[in-house]
Structure 1
Amino acid sequence: MSAQLNHTIVWCRDKQLSANFLADLLGLPAPQPFGPMLVVKFDNGVSLDFYDNDPPIASQHYAFLIGEDDFDEVFARLLAHGQQWWADPGKQRPKEINEFAGGRRVYFDNPDGHLLEIFTRE
């Protein structure tokens, strides 16, 4: 048997704001509409499908593996947004970069409070 993750729905208060935030931050193509959703596609064929929903929105965690050079660009855009970031998912180490296993990673919130992570090494 073969199984691959194809997509997941990201509940949000404003799909345009949340989908564009992610696409802009990661340097991805603009989100595309699909029915009532806005879809952000990734290089591996997986997509995040942003769907408006009424609060409360349960916080989820989404992690993005990126290249070392890409990390610098994405992190610069994160800073340009004035975004808070942490070295840990518990948000106990603000304004630090985690260097676990010789890579780099940071955690930050999207506009709906979902915890996002960018990292360079598994």
Structure 2
Amino acid sequence: MTVSFNHTIIGSHDPVGSAAFYRTILGAREAPGWGPFTNILLDDDTLLQFASGPVNDPVHMAFLMSEEEFDRGYAILVRDGIEHWADPQMRRPNEVATDEGRRVYFKDPSGHYLEMLTQPYL
């Protein structure tokens, strides 16, 4: 058996709202929820589980996507007026990094740092 990433639990101020945000930006699919979790699935069947709780330590998550999916997600960021940057230090607002593929950084509704990219780092 190979090793692959299966799921993660993401603390959220509003799990239903956060799941909807990720579905909209990333094009993720709804998944059945259980217990305290509101779930979505990425295209590779990675499960993201949103649960209520304080977000004292926001995390960074990067999502590798095709050029077409990047264009779709980025258009939503712009359309919805979501603050975004070309760099993780947030010094280049309203830009996309284009040095190796394309990358953009933004925050989810609970303050987690997200990144969409079209080329992997490795």
Normalising by the residue count of structure 2, what TM-score does the alignment of the two structures yield? Answer: 0.90
Superposition CA RMSD, Å: 1.4
After TM superposition, the structure 1 stretch with the greater mean CA deviation from structure 2, 73-82 or 105-114, is: 73-82
Provide the identity percentage. 38
Tell me the equivalent position of 1:73: 72
Map residues 86-97 of structure 1 onto 2, 5 A cutoff.
Answer: 86-97=85-96
In the alignment, structure 1 residue 110 sits paired with structure 2 residue 113: no
Secondary structure of the structure 1 residue equivalent to 2:29: coil
Aligned residue number for residue 121 of structure 1: 119
Q: Deviations over 1:80-110 (max 9, x none)?
A: 2210100111111111110132x11100000
* TM-score, normalised by the number of residues in structure 1: 0.90
Aligned to 1:12: 12
Greater fraction of residues in strand? 2
Shift of 1:7: 0.4
Counterpart Cα distance in 2 of 1:56 and 1:117: 18
- Segments of structure 1 that go 5 or more residues without pairing to the other structure are none
Q: Specify the SS of the correspondent of 2:9.
A: strand
Paired positions, count: 120
Asked if the contact 2:12/2:55 (under 8 Å) is kept, the reply is no
Which runs of at least 4 in structure 1 moved beyond 4 Å after TM superposition?
none
Instruction: Tell whether the 8 Å contact from 2:7 to 2:49 is kept in structure 1 after alignment.
Output: yes
Q: Deviation digits for residues 3-39 of structure 1, max 9, x if unmatched?
A: 2211010001110111110011112223531221011
In 1, are the aligned partners of 2:95 and 2:104 still within 8 Å (CA)?
Answer: yes
Contact 1:25 1:74 in 2 (8 A): yes
**Which secondary structure state, in structure 2, belongs to the residue aligned with residue 19 of structure 1?**
helix
In structure 1, C-alpha distance between the alignment counterparts of 2:86 and 2:75, rounded to whole Å: 16
Letter of the 1:7 counterpart: H
Show the counterpart of 2:84: 85
Q: Structure 1 pair 99/11, CA: closer, same or farther in 2 (3 Å)?
A: same
